[in-house]
C-alpha cells in the first residue's frame, strides 16, 4: 500500500509540475473546523446567513458527492496536506497538548503539499490553525510553509486570549506573538494582508487559511 501511495504522489508531482509550468495560478484553500452541511445558508441554514460563501457557491464549483476522511481536526489536516489517509501518515486521531492523551504525530517521511508547491516555484503560507504538532519538526515552517501566522494547537480555551491549558501557542513563523482580538477575525485579517502583500510579486502563492 505504501508503494502505491508513493507512486501516486510521484505521478501527481510530475503532473503538477507540467501544469504549473504552463500556468501557475494563485491558490487559496479555506478549511473550517466543525462545519456541517446544514450550517450554510446556501445549504438551507435558517439560523445564520453566509452571503460571501453563498456567492462562491454560485460562481464556482459545488461538489455534492464527497466525504471527509475524518470528522475531527488533526487527521483531516494531515490528509489534506499529504494526499494520503491520515492513518498512513501517523495521525489516526487528534494531536493533543499532553503526550499521554496524544493520538500520534505526523510522520517525518510524509511529503506535504507545500513542499511540492515550493518545488514548483510557489510561495507557501499557512494562516490560522495548524494542529499537527507543537514542536519541531512538526511545525508549519518545518513542514514546508514559507510563512506562518496563527495557532499551533488544537482548540483555544478562550478565543480572545488564545491560550490552551494556560499556554500561548500563537506564532508568527517560530516567534511567539500576543495579538489582540477574536481568533477568527485575526486569521481573516492576516489572510487579507498576506494576499495584498503578494499582489505585486512575480511568484504565485499558495495560502492555506485554516479556521
Residue 147, strand partner residues: 125
Distance between CA atoms of residues 193 and 189, nearest Å: 6
**Partners of 179 in beta bridges:** none
Give the whole-angstrom CA distance, residue 90 versus residue 60: 34
Rg (C-alpha) for the chain, rounded Å, is 18
Catalytic site residue from 12, 70, 98, 131: 131
How does DSSP classify residue 158? B
* Cβ pair 82, 111 in contact under 8 A: yes
Identify the active-site residue in 73, 98, 162, 165.
Answer: 73
Please list, residue by residue across 30-67, b when 16 or more beta carbons sit within 10 angstroms of its beta carbon and e when fewer do: eeeeeeeeeebbeeeeeeeebeebeeeeeeeeeeeeee
- In the residue annotation, 131 being an active-site residue is answered as yes
Residue 73 annotated among the catalytic residues of the structure: yes
Q: List the catalytic residues.
A: 73, 131
Amino acid at each position: 500500500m505504501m508503494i502505491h501511495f508513493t507512486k501516486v504522489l510521484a505521478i501527481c508531482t510530475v503532473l503538477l509540475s507540467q501544469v504549473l509550468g504552463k500556468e501557475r495560478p494563485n491558490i487559496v484553500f479555506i478549511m473550517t473546523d466543525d462545519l456541517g452541511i446544514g450550517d450554510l445558508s446556501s445549504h438551507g441554514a435558517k439560523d445564520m446567513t453566509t452571503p460571501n460563501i453563498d456567492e462562491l457557491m454560485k460562481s464556482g464549483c459545488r461538489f455534492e458527492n464527497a466525504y471527509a476522511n475524518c470528522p475531527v481536526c488533526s487527521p483531516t489536516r494531515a490528509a489534506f496536506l499529504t494526499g494520503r489517509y491520515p492513518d498512513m501518515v501517523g495521525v489516526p486521531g487528534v494531536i493533543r497538548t499532553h503526550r499521554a492523551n496524544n493520538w500520534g504525530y505526523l510522520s517525518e517521511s510524509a511529503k506535504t503539499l507545500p513542499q511540492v508547491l515550493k518545488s514548483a516555484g510557489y510561495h507557501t503560507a499557512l494562516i490560522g490553525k495548524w494542529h499537527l504538532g507543537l514542536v519541531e519538526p512538526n511545525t508549519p515552517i518545518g513542514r514546508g510553509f514559507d510563512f506562518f501566522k496563527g495557532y499551533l494547537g488544537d482548540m483555544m480555551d478562550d478565543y480572545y486570549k488564545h491560550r490552551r491549558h494556560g499556554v500561548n501557542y500563537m506564532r508568527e513563523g517560530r516567534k511567539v506573538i500576543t495579538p489582540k482580538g477574536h481568533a477568527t477575525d485575526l486569521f481573516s485579517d492576516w489572510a487579507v494582508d498576506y494576499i495584498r502583500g503578494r499582489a505585486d510579486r512575480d511568484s504565485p502563492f499558495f495560502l492555506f487559511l485554516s479556521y
